[in-house]
Amino acid sequence: MTTSGLGKEALNTRNLEMDRASLEQRMETLRHEEPSNQVPLVIPVGVDLDAPDEYKVPEIDGAELTAQKLKAIMAEHGAVIIRGMFPQALMRPMTATIDGVLEACGSHRKVKANLVSEFFNPPKNLSSVMPNGIADLAALRLFSKIGGSALSVESSSVAEMLLQFFEEQGLKDLITQYLGEPPCLSVKKWVLRRSELPMEEAGWHQDGAFMGTEINTLNLWIPLTRCGGDTGAPGMDLIPQRLNKISSADGAAFDWAVSDEEASQGSEYAPSVAPVFEVGDAFFFDHFYLHRTQFRPDIDKQRYAIETWFFGSTTFPKSQVPIAW
Ligand SMILES: O=C(O)CCC(=O)C(=O)O
């Protein structure tokens, strides 16, 4: 079966209760599992690194992508842009889906009364799987709302639709080969994003600073708006360099962040870049990659994106609340 895209039409054909039960089960499957060290780390922590021939964010065409190539590029550069990975016509309608989820999550009345729709049907165990239950979920919802984002799992139907889409696009096989075991996802690091205007300066960070480093990860960041560079819509500011340890948080606003001075003017790192992303591109990076939401004073356009972190199904950060796939 091929998907009709990621928009409202595709969403309308889904069975809300079945999606809810399916996502609930995925969370139950890993609820009591602890990560193990049976599968080797894809990126060993802290070993000496050879400098690449050039500091850059490599780009390859979607048609050229193989797990072997992904592994080689990620090992050398820490990230890669896959141009034209997805058909634009399938991706564009996802912005309306994100609007629907954000609107449903923004309505306190709907969330409180648990008014189920295709845009808001979280699994019934969502608060109970969080490390600190409902208090954690409430804090995460507030944090997401302030940042103009929502957890994908707020709509089980959107989450299940995305999983189906990823599988149809060959991502499950690709990521299994990359991680050396089947992937899982997570409640906290699977995010639907619509940037807020005016933009606030976001902190440089490596996600491993709060997830831990003895894990296997691959983040698939999907822009749904043309963004980055001089487009006026925020892409990502990137340090185009493979790192394999967590940088110091000295001078940064949070203990998981890196100060702007250190990231963009420090001698330790390659100069930052802000590539242009097109709808249909995919951007892969891992928990050591130093990045932030692109910031410059002339940003005046909204940008939509999907952020999906995949982890090894035995090498995941438990704190991020794993979801079996
Ligand atoms: O979408 C963004 O601007 C931020 C994404 C991000 O930080 C991430 O994917 O880890």
Residue at 41 is within a domain:
no
Report the C-alpha gap between 35 and 17 in whole angstroms.
Answer: 30
Ligand 1 in reach of 81 Cβ (< 6 A): no
Which atom of ligand 1 is nearest to 234's Cα?
3
Q: How many domains does the chain have?
A: 1
The CA-based angle 202-205-210, given to 5 degrees, is 120
Q: Which of 236, 286, 301 to mutate to test the pocket of ligand 1 (most atoms within 8 A of CB)?
A: 236
Range of the domain at 133: 20-32+59-317
- Is the peptide bond preceding residue 322 cis, with omega within 30 degrees of 0? no
Ligand 1 in reach of 193 Cβ (< 6 A): yes
Instruction: Provide the residue-wise pLDDT of the chain in tens; the chain has 325 residues.
Output: 455 689 999 999 999 999 999 999 999 999 999 999 899 999 999 998 888 999 999 999 999 999 999 999 999 999 999 999 999 999 999 999 999 999 999 877 777 777 789 999 999 999 999 999 999 999 999 999 999 999 999 999 999 999 999 999 999 999 999 999 999 999 999 999 999 899 889 999 999 999 999 999 999 999 999 999 999 999 999 999 999 999 877 777 777 777 888 787 767 899 999 999 999 999 999 999 999 999 999 999 999 999 999 999 999 999 999 999 9
Residue at 42 is within a domain:
no
Report the C-alpha gap between 171 and 48 in whole angstroms.
Answer: 31
Residue at 15 is within a domain:
no
Residue at 248 is within a domain:
yes
Please answer whether residues 132 and 33 qualify as being in contact, where contact means their C-beta atoms are separated by less than 8 angstroms.
Answer: no
Look up residue 276 and give its DSSP letter: -
* Residue 318, token pair as written in the block: 């438990």
Q: Which amino acid is at 43?
A: I
